[in-house]
C-alpha cells in the first residue's frame, strides 16, 4: 500500500520553512501550469521504508531572491554556486521535514540542482503524489512529491510545525 503524503502537510512544511528561514510569506495557490523557460529544479531523494523524491521548481529570478534571503546578502544577479547551493538546501529542508512527518525509516540524499529551460525531471519508477503551487510577490514556484507505487505504508504523523523565533 502506498504512502499518501497529504497536501496539507506539504503546504505547512513549505510555508514554515519560507517564513522561518527567509521571512517570506508564501501560500498554496491554484496554479495548474509549471514554469516555462529558464528555471531551476532542486531535488532530494528519500530511500528506505518510503522511497520518493521532493522537488522545488522556480524561475531564475526567484532562485536568486531565495539565495539572497537565505544567505542574508544581496540577491546574486545571475545563477551561481550560491544560488544552486541555496536552492539545494531548500529542497533538503523540505525533504527533511517531510521525512520527519512520516513514521518511516528513510535516508535523505544530497540535493541535486538542474538549471535550464528545456528539460523534464522524471523520477523513474515513481508517480507524482502531490504537486503544489505556492504564491509570493515574485510569482509562483512549485513543490512536487513523487513516490514509488509499490511502497510499504508509512503513516504520516499528524503534528504541527511551529516557528521557533
Q: What is the pLDDT of residues 16-59, one digit of tens each?
A: 999 999 999 999 988 767 667 789 999 999 999 889 999 999 99
What's the pLDDT at 26? 94
Q: What is the pLDDT of residues 88-108, one digit of tens each?
A: 999 999 999 999 988 778 899
Q: How far apart are CA 78 and CA 100, in angstroms?
A: 33
Structural domains present in the chain: 7-148 (3.40.1550.10)
What's the pLDDT at 4? 65
Q: How far apart are CA 165 and CA 147, in angstroms?
A: 33
Dig out the grid coordinates for 132 from the structure: 503544489
* Average pLDDT value over all residues in the chain: 85
Confidence of residue 115 (pLDDT cuts 50, 70, 90): very high
DSSP state for residue 59 in the 8-state scheme = E
pLDDT at 164 over 80: no
Amino acid at each position: 500500500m502506498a504512502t499518501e503524503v497529504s497536501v496539507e502537510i506539504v503546504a505547512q512544511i513549505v510555508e514554515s520553512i519560507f517564513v522561518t528561514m527567509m521571512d517570506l510569506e508564501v501560500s498554496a495557490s491554484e496554479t495548474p501550469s509549471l514554469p516555462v523557460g529558464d528555471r531551476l529544479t532542486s531535488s532530494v531523494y528519500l530511500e528506505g521504508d518510503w522511497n520518493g523524491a521532493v522537488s522545488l521548481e522556480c524561475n531564475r529570478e526567484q532562485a536568486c531572491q531565495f539565495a539572497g534571503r537565505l544567505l542574508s546578502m544581496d540577491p546574486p544577479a545571475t545563477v551561481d554556486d550560491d544560488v544552486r547551493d541555496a536552492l539545494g538546501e531548500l529542497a533538503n529542508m523540505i525533504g527533511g521535514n517531510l521525512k520527519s512527518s512520516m513514521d518511516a525509516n528513510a535516508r535523505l540524499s544530497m540535493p541535486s540542482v538542474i538549471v535550464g529551460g528545456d528539460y523534464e525531471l522524471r523520477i523513474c519508477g515513481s508517480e507524482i503524489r502531490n504537486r503544489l503551487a505556492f504564491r509570493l510577490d515574485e510569482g509562483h514556484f512549485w513543490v512536487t512529491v513523487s513516490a514509488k507505487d509499490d511502497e510499504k505504508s508509512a503513516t504520516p504523523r499528524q503534528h504541527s510545525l511551529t516557528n521557533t523565533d
